[in-house]
Chain A
């Protein structure tokens, strides 16, 4: 459903992605692992067209994303949950959710669905996004990506900076969304959490994919984890 083939991405003159390839099949959770600064965020931003790659190909459901401007990619059924949540702090919770459909219209169904997942957001709907706690902001970031009823989500470190209890609830949410059929590309530094969820995993290092394989296979190879991630789970 998502194919990324040999993308090369730069920030100005600095060469960050040196040819990244990966794919996600319908209904899959795929983990994108790697230490800080290896290019996970840049990979997701490249897919969204926010930092357009100079070379390579990206296709989503057969559509060539690199031919589209970023706001057009933003209108596809491809939800983006950015690192650091990026809630609009001065917009209310409700407005943040309405932003999720871009220029489209939020159907009552879609809103009801996200409120079912996150009842707390319903209670807080008139509050400003900036007044929510970190965990609530993460829920809002996920909910905002869901209102356009995507078939796939790109999630960038959804567990970052959250208390363990909240991480567990985020994890349950991801699993539940996947069980409803959503494909998810999950960039994470919390290897254990990511491998609990994902069937397949990629590991990045210095702008390259250095490992691709099944999750259990990675778990059986502590030396690979040690070498590329610096942790063993």
Chain B
């Protein structure tokens, strides 16, 4: 492989990974916009998406069923978490952090107890390679990118072109006023949580065939998603998307020269530089 080809391949890998991270980080950002708390269990919802997909593939032998059903199931779980855990504690900051941390441990341990500690793999549901710059690129990864883009477009349509999306944005901006205008903000909270969880799980299912599955796989993505949300500018969904892609490509390219662990340093450096130049993040508004 020529160095240029290697560069392009790693860049593409980074782009695909960046789009998966974008799904996870947008879920995190949606929820953060409501309760101003980072949901510590968000990475584990990603993990649950991937692990559930593994089980569903064992039962049905069909990846496509898993792709649809796992995010749906985790989305319902997210709604249950909001209704059953976070609402009773009235979304109070400190208790919410502790509660989501507790949930994170519960999810990991439950998966460890049932799925086991050994990493598992899911086969790519679409085989095949596309010839590219004198070498080949897996079709499945192109599919992942396409799928993530479709989901992102769907999210955008939901938020900006439907009444429900308008209510979500309004509740995020001024909950009390939205209530005074007749919006059931409790319902909006619950569905936003569900949507955030479903996005994380969708990321998990899409990522499953290109990574290895284990009960702690969420531990790695949570900080990355968190960094992306901060770089993008807290509360800015466009910012989150842009930052995820930038970070993904940057890490991907760094992988050409250094090990993946060292590549992570580039992300942190990138965050440090962005925050030095623009403390409010790329798309964030000045406080």
Contact = CB atoms under 8 A, between A and B. Distances in A.
B170 interface: yes
Given A88-B173, A89-B173, A90-B173, A98 B166 contact: yes
Interface of B: 163, 166-167, 169-170, 173-174, 176-185
B173 A74 contact: no
Contacts of A80: 180-181
Given A71-B185, A98-B163, A90 B180 contact: no
A95 B167 CA distance: 10
Given A48-B180, A74-B179, A101-B182, 9 more contacts: A70-B180, A71-B179, A73-B180, A74-B180, A74-B181, A88-B173, A88-B178, A99-B167, A104-B182
A88 B170 contact: yes
Q: 9 closest Cβ contacts across the A-B interface?
A: A102-B182, A74-B182, A75-B182, A86-B177, A71-B184, A88-B173, A70-B179, A80-B180, A71-B179
A101 B178 CA distance: 10
A91 B179 contact: no
A50 B163 contact: no
Interface string A144-165: 1000100000000000000000
A101 B184 CA distance: 13
Nearest to B177: A86
Contact of A102 (B169, B174, B176, B183): B183
Interface of A: 48, 50, 70-75, 80, 82, 86, 88-91, 95, 98-104, 144, 148
Contacts of A71: 179, 182-185
Given A98-B163, A98-B166, A86 B174 contact: yes
Nearest to B166: A95
A99 B180 contact: no
A91 B172 CA distance: 11
A50 B184 CA distance: 12
Nearest to B188: A71
**Secondary structure type dominating chain B contacts:** helix
Contacts of B167: 99
Contact of B176 (A50, A101, A148): A50
Given A71-B185, A98-B163, A99-B166, A91 B180 contact: no
B176 to A, nearest CB: 6
A6 B178 CA distance: 27
A91 B170 CA distance: 7
Among A88, A90, A148, chain B packs the most CB atoms within 10 A around the CB of A88
Which of A50, A95, A103, A104 has the most C-beta atoms of chain B within 10 angstroms of its own C-beta? Answer: A103
B238 to A, nearest CB: 12
A84 to B, nearest CB: 10
B141 to A, nearest CB: 35
A90 B183 CA distance: 17
19 contacts: A48-B180, A50-B180, A72-B182, A74-B179, A74-B180, A82-B180, A86-B174, A88-B170, A88-B174, A90-B173, A95-B166, A99-B166, A99-B170, A99-B178, A99-B181, A101-B181, A101-B182, A102-B181, A104-B182
A102 B163 CA distance: 10
**Residue with the highest number of chain A CB atoms closer than 10 Å, among B173, B177, B183, B184:** B177
B113 to A, nearest CB: 40
B30 to A, nearest CB: 14
A135 to B, nearest CB: 19
A98 B170 CA distance: 11
A75 B182 CA distance: 5
Contacts of B182: 71-72, 74-75, 101-104, 148
Contacts of A48: 180
A82 B173 contact: no
A50 B166 CA distance: 21
A72 B177 CA distance: 13
B173 A91 contact: yes
Contacts of A89: 173
Contacts of A82: 177, 180
Nearest to B178: A99
Nearest to A75: B182
A125 to B, nearest CB: 14
A53 to B, nearest CB: 16
Nearest to A147: B181
Nearest to B235: A90
Contacts of B174: 86, 88
Contact of A91 (B166, B176, B184, B185): B166
